[in-house]
Copies of this chain bind each other. A is one copy, B any other.
Amino acid sequence: MSARAWALSIEDREKLIQAAFEAKEGSYSRYSNFPVGAALLAVDGTIIKGANIENASYGGTICAERTALVKAVSEGTRKFIALAVTSNVKSAISPCGMCRQFIREFCANDMPILLVPADYPQEGKVKPGSSAGGVVETTLGELLPMSFGPEDLDLPRKLQ
Contacts and interface: CB of A to CB of B under 8 A. Distances in A.
A89 B160 CA distance: 10
Q: Report copies per complex.
A: 4
Contacts of A145: 142-143, 145
A136 B145 CA distance: 13
A32 B153 contact: yes
A114 to B, nearest CB: 13
A157 B90 CA distance: 7
Given A56-B148, A89-B158, A98-B98, 20 more contacts: A26-B75, A26-B76, A28-B105, A32-B153, A49-B74, A50-B74, A57-B97, A57-B98, A58-B58, A58-B61, A60-B96, A62-B70, A67-B70, A71-B74, A88-B160, A94-B146, A96-B97, A97-B97, A100-B144, A144-B144
